[in-house]
Amino acid sequence: MFSAEGSTDRNALDVLEALSLALPLGTREISEERAGMAGLQQTLEEHRRSFAAYVLDYHELLRAALSADGTDNGSYLPARSLYDSLPAEAQAELRQRAEGASASGFIECMTWPSMCRVVYRTASGLVGMGSRVTRPGDLVCRVRGSAVLMTLRRIKDSGAGEVAKTGTGTGADVGEISCVHIGPTVVPERMKRSVVDGREFGEKSATFRIL
């Protein structure tokens, strides 16, 4: 169990890769052979390259739009692209990955799975994608008996103090938490084949009462 609240202490490329995988995965786990559940079914290497091409394509489109407008009419556009916000080392790596690649593969793989979803960061800095009604403070959980990760929302104060400390890697148990079920979610770094309880990740266990 870990909290869906933000953190910014991770390497920029690691965060970008996690984001790029969350968008096309739906609720499926990562495999070396397949990095998405729709479209071209790219390998992980193909996925990384097409995502890099996508980031660079957007960068060039935004730069062209900003230079062509030249007035306040373009104020609805962001001041800079995602690429511009990255450290120089990350920019160089993306350019290397994008050489000879096309953004179309990433676009095709992520279009349907990511519709009406929101992207979030957990308290431990992991990137995930969940229901459009996901909001800060929701819990991302590995619920026993479920094949996919779930988002739950606490509705009472039970376990409130302990839940705020999740993601610390202590593995300590949390008491009973009363929740409502929000829906399935995807966190690529926690969706591993044969992993059942997540203790190897330092996840805390809790007794959930879903109302």
Convert 124-162 to b/e letters by CB count within 10 Å (16 or more is b).
bbbbbbbeeebeeebbbbbbeeeeebbbbbbeeebbeeb
Helix (H, G, I), strand (E, B) or coil at 143: coil
Q: According to the model, what pLDDT value does residue 27 have?
A: 55
50: in domain: no
Angle subtended at Cα 54 by Cα 24 and Cα 118, rounded to the nearest 5 degrees = 40
72 phi/psi in degrees, rounded to 5: -70, -10
90: in domain: no
Tell me the residue range of the domain where 137 lies.
Answer: 1-10+116-211
Secondary-structure percent of the chain, ordered helix, strand, coil, rounded to 5? 35, 15, 50
Helix (H, G, I), strand (E, B) or coil at 154: strand
51: in domain: no
47: in domain: no
Question: Which residue blocks in 80-171 are alpha helix, DSSP H?
Answer: 88-98, 104-110, 160-163
156: in domain: yes
- Is the separation of the CB atoms in 200 and 142 below 8 Å? no
165: in domain: yes
Torsion of CA 198, 201, 207, 211, to 10 degrees: -80
Structure tokens at 129: 């994608």
Q: What is the CA radius of gyration of the chain?
A: 19
Nearest alpha-carbon partner for 50 in 2, 5, 94, 19 = 94
143: in domain: yes
121 phi/psi in degrees, rounded to 5: -115, 140
User: What is the number of structural domains in the chain?
Assistant: 1
205: in domain: yes
What is this structure's pTM? Answer: 0.68
Torsion of CA 106, 108, 112, 118, to 10 degrees: 20
CA distance 131 to 117: 5
pLDDT per position in the chain (211 positions), as tens?
555 554 444 588 888 888 888 888 765 556 655 655 555 567 888 889 999 999 999 999 998 888 876 655 556 788 889 999 999 999 999 999 999 999 998 988 888 778 888 889 988 888 999 988 889 989 998 887 777 888 999 886 655 444 444 443 444 566 678 888 888 898 888 877 767 677 777 777 777 777 6
Q: According to the model, what pLDDT value does residue 7 have?
A: 46
* Amino acid (one-letter) located at 204: K
